[in-house]
Amino acid sequence: MFGSDIFFKCENFQKVGAFKARGATNAVRSLDPVSLQKGVATHSSGNHAQALAWAAGLAGAKAYIVMPSNSSPVKVEAVKGYGGLITFCEPTLPSREATLLRVIGETGAVEIHPYNDNRIIAGQATSALELIEEIKGLDIILAPVGGGGLLSGTALSAFYFSQGTRVIAAEPLQADDAFRSFVSGAFIPSVNPQTIADGLRTSLGSLTFPVIQEHVSDIVTVSEESIVQAMKFIWERMKIIVETSSAVPFATILENKIHVKGKRIGIILSGGNVDLNNLPW
């Protein structure tokens, strides 16, 4: 269809259904025994919550997860299923942060931020590393960008292990804080963005933004319509389930925003956690 070879790295088949399992595992395994005994903590309503609960469980550690009271029941059950200890809070960032601080104060658990943490970034980097090891001579790797954990890890893997490969980020136009930060050179936070790609609503972090500035070639934005179209296309043609955020990189190709003809393209499909009762078409 596009005159190019496109290779998909299927993080939807990863444990907990998303690349987040990589960073969480690396972060938990990086802890010293004393810290591990006290456990880990985070606030998250998404895939990071499940991933951290899962990774902590593997290490025999406790995972304290602060979740907004309006989190979807499916996600709450998933975190519980992995053994996560949930504390509910109000669905606001101040309440999430205050509740997390209280939990950490009570337990001594180590906070594991979903993306602004070098252990997380290094873990997420293993996805692109595996892709590079398996598929030689990639001209471009496309990854979505939300907080930038996956993207900065991807860019570092390409920089250190495949210098001929450019890393291009894909972002919803309606949550284009990373794009605007990238082109302006100054951090611009994400303010209540209205995108269907719920994993990409977060702002860049103080650790991820500099890596992205240095090692990412470009950030490309796509419309909400293209995201849904790309997602449905992947479901129909590839017979695999990806979530909205996962479809954003492929949407850049559907929108003809990237010159792919004659090139070898790697796309990181970031996850496959979808509410099957609430599809966007």
Name which of 186 and 276 has its Cβ closer to its own copies: 276
Are 220 and 166 in contact, with CB atoms under 8 Å apart? no
Whole-angstrom distance, CA of residue 64 vs CA of residue 241: 29
Residue 127: CB minimum distance to its own copies, A: 16
In this chain, which stretch among 116-124, 134-142, 197-205, 237-245 interacts with its own copies, using CB under 8 A? 237-245
73 belongs to the binding site for its own copies (CB under 8 A): no
Give 73: exposed, middle or buried? Use CB within 10 Å, 0-12, 13-18, 19+. Answer: exposed
235 belongs to the binding site for its own copies (CB under 8 A): yes
Name which of 78 and 178 has its Cβ closer to its own copies: 78
Whole-angstrom distance, CA of residue 127 vs CA of residue 109: 27
Residue span 10-49 as binding mask against its own copies, x where in contact by CB under 8 A, dash where not: --xx---x--------------------------------
Whole-angstrom distance, CA of residue 234 vs CA of residue 162: 27
Name which of 74 and 93 has its Cβ closer to its own copies: 74
| Encoded amino acid at 221, one letter | T
Residue 271: CB minimum distance to its own copies, A: 9
| Encoded amino acid at 208, one letter | T
114 belongs to the binding site for its own copies (CB under 8 A): no
Name which of 191 and 276 has its Cβ closer to its own copies: 276
Whole-angstrom distance, CA of residue 73 vs CA of residue 13: 22
Select the residue interacting with its own copies from 38, 180, 232, 263 (CB under 8 A).
232
Residue 238: CB minimum distance to its own copies, A: 8
Return the structure tokens found at 100. Answer: 């997390």
Name which of 212 and 241 has its Cβ closer to its own copies: 241
Whole-angstrom distance, CA of residue 61 vs CA of residue 46: 20
Whole-angstrom distance, CA of residue 250 vs CA of residue 80: 33
Contacting residues toward its own copies, per CB under 8 A:
12-13, 17, 232, 235-236, 239-242, 272, 276-277, 279, 281
